[in-house]
Amino acid sequence: GYPVPGRTTVYDTNSTIYLENVLLHGSILVKTLVLSVDPCLRGKMRAPEQKSNSVLYNFGVGKVIRSEHSTFQAGDHVYGYTLEVIVRPEPQLPYSVYVGAAGMPGQSSYYGCKEHAKAKAGEVVFVTTAAGPVGSIVVQLAKQDGLKVIVSAGSDEKVQFCKEIGADVAFNYKTTNTADILARGGPIGIYWDNVGGPALEAAIANMALGGRIIAYGYISQYNGEEDYGIKNMKYVLFKQLSIHGLFVAAHHERYKDDFYQVIPKKLASGEFEYTEDITRGLAKGGEAILEVQKGVNTAKKIIVVADD
């Protein structure tokens, strides 16, 4: 089921760090500034009897307060799991954007399009959860490549944002039949799948010959929902479809330099748009995670832990 703030996610204040005299033993002390909340966090939250990490980890940005490590200096800003020192290509962008459209979600969009889309001008692309940080960058990259873009989102507000960033057809999947929209707007050359389930089945039914499916997420089954058996996989054979699972880390070294030269500049200039839904305070982290799992967040969910 869904995570329960206060029970399955706990904000623990029992530990205290004394900033000036805590022993570093050759490491660094980082002040957390912003944290990213993404749908994939649900996959890291498992039943107690299953092997799992006790601490929920994700991408963030922090500031080095003290350092005994040669790679880092006090005042450096660091990002990610491995604490890369951030060199911001566009300093006017807030640090929060570097865990959203200019960070892992945007990288997923850029790497997936580069590696798997093989887009040709005039093709049709269908993107689910298109108002989110991954989907919205996919939409804008697709329009840049001359594609017709069909998108779905979970609220009328999100549908409106999708139209503003260039979607040709945008609909609320909760009130509109996905298969009907795709039948009228297809055939679909590229399907960017963030949800799995019935949307994937509808896309397969309406794919063009030689179509490409980029499987990035399956949020329709993240919270204990019954597995959805795709009933029309025969069309993968008949239509000669390709299905590619996308993990951003697998392509990071190949595309990261290109990404940082392109996407932050487009975001800073306003050529590409982004939105954020900010939760202030780590104490509200459990509520932020739940909002994303239920899809009631209005944009990319960010937890602002502290100011710089």
Residues 82-98 pLDDT 10s:
678 887 889 899 999 99
Q: Provide the b/e sequence for 186-222 (b: ≥16 CB within 10 Å).
A: bebbbbbbbbbbbbbbbbbbbbbeebbbbbbbbbbeb
CA distances from 197 to 41, 122, 220, 222 (A): 19, 27, 6, 11
Q: Contact at 8 Å (CB) between 126 and 153?
A: no
Which two tokens mark 189?
């050359």
Q: Give the residue from 307, 295, 289, 298 showing the smallest Cα distance to 56.
A: 289
- Summarize the confidence of residues 2-11 as an average pLDDT: 89
- Mean pLDDT over all residues of the chain? 93
117: pLDDT confidence band, cut at 50, 70 and 90?
very high
Q: Decide if pLDDT at 228 tops 90.
A: no
- Summarize the confidence of residues 109-125 as an average pLDDT: 97
Residue 158 CA to residue 114 CA, distance in Å, equals: 26
Phi, psi of 84 (to 5 degrees): -70, 140
Residues in the chain, overall count: 308
Give, in degrees to the nearest 5, the angle at Cα 218 between 217 and 224: 140
Q: Decide if pLDDT at 54 tops 70.
A: no
Burial of 138 (0-12, 13-18, 19+ CB in 10 A): buried
- Summarize the confidence of residues 189-194 as an average pLDDT: 97
- Summarize the confidence of residues 247-266 as an average pLDDT: 94
- Summarize the confidence of residues 236-254 as an average pLDDT: 95
Q: Decide if pLDDT at 294 tops 80.
A: yes
Q: Measured over all CA atoms, what is the biggest interatomic distance in the chain, rounded to whole angstroms?
A: 67
- Summarize the confidence of residues 119-126 as an average pLDDT: 96
Residue 233 CA to residue 288 CA, distance in Å, equals: 36
Q: Decide if pLDDT at 52 tops 70.
A: no
- Summarize the confidence of residues 25-40 as an average pLDDT: 93
The set of residues, in sequence order, having a beta carbon less than 8 Å from that of 104 and lying 6+ positions away, is 36, 38, 59, 80, 248
The confidence score (pLDDT) of residue 53 equals: 59
Q: Decide if pLDDT at 162 tops 80.
A: yes
Residue 306 CA to residue 308 CA, distance in Å, equals: 7
